[in-house]
Amino acid sequence: MTASARVLEHFGKSNCSEPIRILGASGQLGYGVPTPAFDAGLERAPHLIGCDMGSIDPGPYYLGSGELATSPTATRRDLRKVLRGALKLKIPLVIGSAGSAGAKPHLDCTLAMVREIAGEEGWHFRLGVLRADIDKSVLKAAIASGGVVSIDDMPALDAQEVDAASNIVGQMGMSAFQRALAADVDVIIAGRACDTAIFAALPAMAGFPVGPAQHMAKIIECASLCCVPGGRDSILATLDHDGFVLESMAPQRRATPVSVAAHSLYEQADPFTVQEPEGRLDLGRATYAAIDDRRTRVVGAVWQDAKEPWVKIEGARPVGERAILLCGTADPRFIARHEQLLKEIEGVVRDLVCEDAPEDYALTWRVYGVNGVRMTPVTQNELPAEAFIMGECIAPTRARAAEVVRTTKQYLLHHGYEGRLSTGGNLAFPFTPPEVSVGPAYRFNIYHLMRTANLDALFPLEIETL
Amino acid sequence: MRLQDFAQVVRSKNAGPRRFTLDVIFRSDPDYQRAAQSEALTAAKIAPLYGVPASAVQVINYPLGRAIKIVIPRRIMSGDPGDRDVYGAQQHTPLLGLEI
């Protein structure tokens, strides 16, 4: 009998009033799952292990390129650890947003690791795979029928941008995971998914109320981040028919009413509502009460089914090749006049590299120590003793980007100006070459909602027996 | 008193790639009340610190978490060419010196 069938059968018994225990193993699988807390969680006999593995927080590069943000070695280690735990307890393991961004290359890479680990360990199980890639023709048809709207003032989406995207994913919700759980599986690996759906799908299916199940999921998807001190150790949630209790599996981390309530603020614009494809979670009447100094009980979240499902769509497109220049300066006269001098250099470089080519690149600066970090203009009265200058070029080709930053380096080093004392050079390089070709650059060009009449078709399920 | 002298947390982070959110969390209910009733943490006072119109700034009081949340649109979307802070985790500093 598979793990999902066992757990569903257990909770399907008419006289079952037992709470369900969900272990949130990791807020981002692939960055390390601390073993003591994870093992402590296994000892509590959870009914499911869930792990979130990605998001769009790290920017458009990973979605665009298809690469993982985490190292392959650490990712394999984490996958092996959570697979071993789930197979030992014969409980479902659910992983969402596989491989950092959850598109086909990320999911395929994660699956290859899982197959490799299963082969090495001699493990056998039924694997459910949920894909999250959105077909370009489906998205274009949705645009044509008025079924795509922007999020947060994103420009309206058109067919041209859809074609330019290298990967497009939709965030699947609970219903996709429930199809997989109903299909007799031990392990589910999903592409891009709502982090809550990973943890809420099974309890909702087993008859627990969706509001508290979703609220629990929203908190434990970040592991012990809702505690004081916050951390990435595994967390156990015990959900009954009214609410849930949170307990970090690391003894030093305390889930207090204020720390748990404050977690609703994290990376959310609105602490009172969470929008999911199948409905909306309302936290306006949620209450938080201490059971003891390490555990908090939460009740009161309300779920409202959506009239029609909307799916959040994310896409990234290439915008060129990136090369950067890394250098520092300690010269007070250079620092005092750096804005003007950098503008002059842009002109010098343009005249040289555009002699026989169009101005097909963008050269930008961040001057750390002065104004490299803040998004808003900085007024600074005192100038720093040293500054770090990063030049960045995005150009159509790797060679063109390298040409621009190498030319920039040489002319910035030797640029003469009125009052200059340091005629040996304006810059210090900690090493050479100070120019680095970083590879392709991407930008998010799709961040929209798509109306859909058929959620199931968007997120197809494949079953594989290992 | 400056905000940084009595707030427990003053942080920023993306809320999606097009906005960032500032969370100011306090140690005690009186500290929270003092800040929530202050004129300093209003859209009109915060907007100029971030170079945006007051109408673009949302301020949400969240007494359960002893927190005040501020949501501000990013000028450059996370990771777009020219961005300076992909995660939006270092945009909190203009709040630190606010007099409450």
Report, as an integer, the average pLDDT of A72-100.
Answer: 97
What whole-number distance in Å separates Cα of residue A277 and Cα of residue A194? 9
What whole-number distance in Å separates Cα of residue A110 and Cα of residue A349? 44
Q: How confident is the model at residue A93 (pLDDT cuts 50, 70, 90)?
A: very high
Q: How confident is the model at residue A377 (pLDDT cuts 50, 70, 90)?
A: confident
- Least Cα separation, residue B96 to chain A (angstroms): 14
Closest CA to A326 of A260, A399, A412: A412
**Whole-model pTM above 0.90?**
yes
- Least Cα separation, residue B31 to chain A (angstroms): 14
What whole-number distance in Å separates Cα of residue A224 and Cα of residue A253? 7
> What pLDDT, in 10s, does the model give residues A296-351?
999 999 999 998 889 999 999 999 999 999 999 999 999 999 999 999 999 999 99
> What pLDDT, in 10s, does the model give residues A342-373?
999 999 999 999 999 999 999 999 999 998 99
Please work out, in degrees rounded to the nearest 5, the angle formed at the alpha carbon of residue A215 by the alpha carbons of A212 and A220.
Answer: 120
State the alpha helices, DSSP H only, in A291-337: 332-336
Cα Rg of chain A, angstroms? 26
pLDDT at A15: 67
- Residues on chain B touching A61 (C-beta within 8 angstroms): 79
- Residues on chain B touching A270 (C-beta within 8 angstroms): 60
Report, as an integer, the average pLDDT of B62-90.
Answer: 94
- Least Cα separation, residue A165 to chain B (angstroms): 14
> Which residues, including other chains, have CB under 8 Å from residue A202's CB and lie 6 or more apart?
A4, A7, A8, A20, A22, A47, A48, A92, A94, A177, A181
For A226, A228, B6, the CA distances from A249, given in Å and listed in that order, are 12, 13, 31
Q: Which residue of B has its CA nearest to A260?
A: B65
Closest CA to A453 of A279, A303, A307: A307
Cβ A48 vs Cβ A97: under 8 Å: no
Cβ B52 vs Cβ B19: under 8 Å: no
Cβ contact (<8 Å) for B73 and A152?
A: yes
Cβ contact (<8 Å) for B73 and A60?
A: no
What is the β-pairing status of strands A48-54 and A20-26? Answer: parallel
What whole-number distance in Å separates Cα of residue A74 and Cα of residue A110? 12
The single-letter DSSP state of residue A39 is: H
The single-letter DSSP state of residue A209 is: -
Residue B35: both structure tokens together: 């800040």
- Least Cα separation, residue B53 to chain A (angstroms): 13
Determine contact: A61 vs chain B, CB below 8 A.
yes
State the DSSP string of A79-115. HHHHHHHHHHHT--EEEEEEEET-SHHHHHHHHHHHH
Cβ contact (<8 Å) for A152 and B71?
A: no
- The answer, yes or no, to whether residue A16 has pLDDT greater than 80, is no
For A325, A346, A352, A359, B83, the CA distances from A404, given in Å and listed in that order, are 10, 10, 9, 11, 20
Q: Which residue of A has its CA nearest to B25?
A: A262
Residue pairs between chains A and B whose CB atoms are closer than 8 Å: 119
pLDDT at A212: 97
Which of B50, B75, B90 shows the shortest C-beta gap to A373?
B90
Residue A383: both structure tokens together: 């100038």
Cβ contact (<8 Å) for A376 and B73?
A: no
Q: Which residue of B has its CA nearest to A442?
A: B80
Residue ranges of A 323-352 with Cβ closer than 8 A to chain B: none
- Least Cα separation, residue A319 to chain B (angstroms): 9
Cβ contact (<8 Å) for B23 and A262?
A: yes
